[in-house]
Amino acid sequence: MKLGFGLYRHQLNEEYYRFARQCGATHLVIHWVDYFRSSRSNQLGDQPIGDDTGWGLAGDPDKLWSFEELSAVKAEAVKHGLQIEAIENFDPAHWHDVLLDGPKKAQQLENLKAIVRTVGKVGIPIIGYNFSLAGVAGRVKGPWGRGGAEVVAMDGPYDKPIPNGMIWNMVYDRHAAPGNLAPISTEELWRRHGEFLDVLIPVAEEAGVTLAAHPDDPPTPTVRGQPRLVNQTQLYQRLIDRKPSPSNALEFCLGTLAEMTVGGFYEAVESYSRQKRVAYVHFRNVRGKAPHYQETFVDEGDIDMLRVLLLLQKNDFGGVLIPDHAPQMTCAAPWHAGMAYACGWMKAALQAIQADR
Ligand SMILES: [Mn+2]
């Protein structure tokens, strides 16, 4: 197993590469969509939270990710001793009608094929994605961590409807007609996802890319009145069985999985790692279950993180773990301190179990 570090788009520069390397990371998971560029509510020094207006504007629908820009980022990272393991999340501007089953779906499936081929050509092995209409929404922040550290939490369901022109918590059409997106059924969401896999997995296989699905965060039955795809651990099995291929894999978010209300968490870690479908791991801890939970420091939540590492090791998982999110620590650099604390814990734990062997 390898220690990685997740960086948002605005962090893709020398300062953050050096910080990640100093934390002991050898790999990066990068976000190429900028959730902070035009958001009213997302703060640069924290994970994006948003409000009813979401995370701001999606990108340029006519500008797909290019070989040149991604190669340049990869080269910069390598210069600092870091390999890019994954890009996390497609831009809503490029695939909103794949999620919505809208009129531009055929063109946008072509967009996704082109992006997958480009990422493969650059030599980035994984693309993480969320197949979700509402995306990450409905979370709050407060001083609920150990010692009053500020953490992200959920405190009750969040079902305010999605306004037209917004998908996955970002605005792709500022001039959409007033009104809200009509709710769809869970089966309809699975049908759309199945079509996405049917079209994309063969392309991903050819490109040498793994598509890795994040579970629904937060994993409530609905968010903003829309169904969720993977909001219980056993639904990951349905997702991988839909298309048996090593390219159809999981962005394994421990925090989200632990927030789920049905089924065994450790059984899920054991089962999906044994099936070799864990592409990479979001290594974070939580206390509670959806819709009432709080993120915690890595060593104090409901999850026995060492037990998780031992299960992953037993099943020969050799991929990357990233801290995902961490509590904000009280100091001049709250985000940095939280992330460095998480990385230090992870590094020590990995050393301990690897020495044991
Ligand atoms: Mn996650």
132 C-alpha to center of ligand 1: Å? 14
pLDDT tops 70 at residue 131: yes
Average of per-residue pLDDT values in the chain: 95
The average pLDDT across 112-127 equals: 98
Kindly state the tokens that stand for 154: 């959920």
pLDDT tops 90 at residue 38: no
Q: Quick one: pLDDT at residue 92?
A: 97
Residue carrying the six token digits 């969509």: 33
pLDDT tops 70 at residue 61: yes
91 C-alpha to center of ligand 1: Å? 17
110 C-alpha to center of ligand 1: Å? 27
252 C-alpha to center of ligand 1: Å? 7
6 C-alpha to center of ligand 1: Å? 10
pLDDT in tens, 309-323: 999 999 999 999 999
72 C-alpha to center of ligand 1: Å? 26
Q: What is the C-alpha to C-alpha distance for residues 82 and 75, in angstroms, rounded to an integer?
A: 9
pLDDT in tens, 135-190: 998 889 999 999 999 999 999 999 999 999 999 999 999 999 999 999 999 999 99
Residues whose CB is less than 8 angstroms from the CB of residue 311 and which lie 6 or more positions away in sequence, other chains included:
266, 269, 270, 273
Which DSSP category does 178 fall into? S
Please provide the DSSP assignment of 198-213 as one string: HHHHHHHHHHT-EEEE
214 C-alpha to center of ligand 1: Å? 7
Nearest CA to 262 out of 322, 213, 220, 305 is that of 220
Q: Quick one: pLDDT at residue 356?
A: 64
215 C-alpha to center of ligand 1: Å? 8
Q: What is the C-alpha to C-alpha distance for residues 17 and 8, in angstroms, rounded to an integer?
A: 11
Q: What is the C-alpha to C-alpha distance for residues 260 and 119, in angstroms, rounded to an integer?
A: 32
pLDDT in tens, 202-247: 999 999 999 999 999 999 999 999 999 999 999 999 999 999 999 9
Kindly state the tokens that stand for 322: 């990233």
Residue carrying the six token digits 């050799």: 318
324 C-alpha to center of ligand 1: Å? 6
Q: pLDDT-based confidence at 277, cuts 50/70/90?
A: very high
Instruction: Judge contact between 214 and 252, C-beta under 8 A.
Output: no
**Which residue did the predictor score with more confidence, 215 or 34?**
215
254 C-alpha to center of ligand 1: Å? 7
Residue carrying the six token digits 């031992």: 310
Instruction: Classify burial at 183, counting beta carbons within 10 Å of its beta carbon; exposed 0-12, middle 13-18, buried 19 or more.
Output: middle
Phi, psi dihedral angles at 347 (to 5 degrees): -60, -45
282 C-alpha to center of ligand 1: Å? 5
pLDDT tops 70 at residue 357: no
89 C-alpha to center of ligand 1: Å? 11
pLDDT tops 80 at residue 52: no
Structural domains present in the chain: 2-356 (3.20.20.150)
Start-to-end Cα distance in the chain? 13
Query: Within 13 A of 217's CA, how many CA atoms are on the CB side?
Result: 28
Output the pTM of the full model: 0.96
4 C-alpha to center of ligand 1: Å? 14
Instruction: Judge contact between 78 and 70, C-beta under 8 A.
Output: no
Q: What is the C-alpha to C-alpha distance for residues 156 and 171, in angstroms, rounded to an integer?
A: 24
- Looking at the chain, list the stretches that DSSP marks H as alpha helix, in order from N- to C-terminal side: 14-22, 67-79, 92-100, 105-122, 186-207, 235-241, 254-259, 265-274, 305-314, 334-356
The average pLDDT across 58-71 equals: 96
The average pLDDT across 35-47 equals: 76
Q: What is the C-alpha to C-alpha distance for residues 199 and 116, in angstroms, rounded to an integer?
A: 11
